[in-house]
Amino acid sequence: METPLTRNISPGKNPPDLARYEKAGGYAALRKALRMSPDDIMEEVKEANLRGRGGAGFPTAKKWSFVPMGENAPHPKYLICNADEMEPGTFKDRLLLEGDPHQLLEGMIISGYAIQADIGYIFLRWAYKLAAERLERAIGEAYRQGYLGRNILGTEYSLELHLHVSAGRYMCGEETALLNALEGKRANPRAKPPYPQVSGLWGKPTVVNNVETLCNVSHIVNHGSGWFKSLSRSGDGGTKLYGVSGRVKKPGLWELPMGTPIREILEGHAGGMRDGYRFRGLLPGGASTDFLIADHFDTAMDFDSMQAAGSRLGTGTMIILDDRTCPVGMLRNLEHFFAQESCGWCTPCWSGLSWIEQILQDLEEGEGLSSDLERLQAHARLLGPGHTFCALAPGAAEPLQSGLKYFRDDFERHVHEKRCPWR
């Protein structure tokens, strides 16, 4: 089984420096890409069916295709790496950032070339101190080697790359809020249209891609779209970093073919539940995805299958709920996070989420009423997509609505027993 993304990564050890990265075949893809036309690269990535690994699964080449190209295109154009990984339960980008920073840089330079970007930013989560250190070093090496800066490898193409360490807010992971934050403004999301590809950072064409997405690009260029698709067990190309956290025997992160079923990941790689704990449910792709239950164990972890099962692949890093943890308490914890991270822009989010948190708090403290469950149900519906300004509140509503569906009895017990049965 090929693991292109993690082949150079040895957790606990230093990442490959430039020399080691090059020795392992690094920057060969860049040399190849610079001999290709931007269109050809875009075509290859499109053929590879690379879908965005930030959670939404938007086809990467399609995202790029909206960038104005040609002589009359506005400049500077920007390529931004979204490394603001703050989704609860998610730590996949961290591995790539800390483990093989040059892989990201190479992917960014090629992607930047594909959209003819002039300036790149890595927007990094504040807490990723080690990643910041390693990226700084890698960027310095790349500049010295002529992979970055003016006339990369003697070609016409130039790209300046900057590391920007965020102030640390979940909201900054939303691509347009990220742009506002980069501009030094409040990290509120922007209305779309206009899309960032047309009017992004400082009003100029901008593409924002996730770390894992960009890391795939050099491999697609190196080995071709056919190879990339062959890595996958589903229609979506490539491998995927899958993670498991919770009371399992071996919590962790694995690079596996895209579309690996839940059971294989959970029972195989993560070793199943710890002794004394029984599985009750899982959030497949971070806190903002719908709960799935044991009935779904044979579902493939790819974008479309997860959608069909009533959830989302999200970041592909699952959080396991066990039978010794109160689902209401877990949701209270999650909704507290979302309510706290609301940027305060649109009413359903800033007010609705804190109300949800308040109700869950009441339930946990034995002060819940049965009408509260109706309120929660209504909120799960009212915070749906399109009702709010961005996806934060709909994301927060996903575990709530599915939690109410799968763990209804637990909610009702809180009301009837006037206490949390787990305390």
User: By the criterion CB under 8 A, which residues form the site for another protein?
Assistant: 169, 171, 186, 190-191, 193-194, 198-199, 202-203, 339-348, 350-355, 358, 362, 371, 375, 378, 382, 386-389
- Is the previous residue joined to 76 through a cis bond, with omega within 30 degrees of 0? yes
Q: Minimum Å distance from CB 265 to another protein?
A: 34
Q: Is 13 exposed, middle or buried (0-12, 13-18, 19+ CB in 10 A)?
A: exposed
Using the minimum distance from each CB to another protein, give the nearer residue, 94 or 204.
Answer: 204
The answer to whether 215 and 99 have CB atoms below 8 angstroms apart is no
C-alpha atoms less than 13 angstroms from C-alpha of 153 in its C-beta half-sphere:
15
Q: Minimum Å distance from CB 222 to another protein?
A: 37
Using the minimum distance from each CB to another protein, give the nearer residue, 154 or 184.
Answer: 184
Q: Minimum Å distance from CB 95 to another protein?
A: 29
Hunting for tokens 């993670």 — which residue is that? 243
Using the minimum distance from each CB to another protein, give the nearer residue, 253 or 397.
Answer: 397
Using the minimum distance from each CB to another protein, give the nearer residue, 253 or 287.
Answer: 287
How many angstroms separate the CA atoms of 184 and 78, rounded?
16
Q: Minimum Å distance from CB 196 to another protein?
A: 10
| Torsion angle in degrees (nearest 10) through CA of 303, 308, 310, 311 | -10
How many angstroms separate the CA atoms of 282 and 220, rounded?
32
Q: Minimum Å distance from CB 5 to another protein?
A: 34
Q: Minimum Å distance from CB 54 to another protein?
A: 21
Using the minimum distance from each CB to another protein, give the nearer residue, 108 or 328.
Answer: 328
Alpha-helical runs (H) found in 183-280:
211-230, 262-263
| Order of all β-strands in the sheet with 239-245 | 252-257, 239-245, 317-322, 279-283
Spatial CA neighbour of 218 closest among 25, 62, 365 = 25
Using the minimum distance from each CB to another protein, give the nearer residue, 95 or 343.
Answer: 343
Using the minimum distance from each CB to another protein, give the nearer residue, 14 or 347.
Answer: 347
Using the minimum distance from each CB to another protein, give the nearer residue, 151 or 347.
Answer: 347
- Write the CA distances from 25 to 133, 141, 220, 362, integer angstroms: 23, 16, 14, 57
Q: How many helices (H) and strands (E) does the chain have?
A: 17, 8
Q: Minimum Å distance from CB 401 to another protein?
A: 16
Q: Minimum Å distance from CB 384 to another protein?
A: 8
What are the tokens at 62?
A: 């399609």
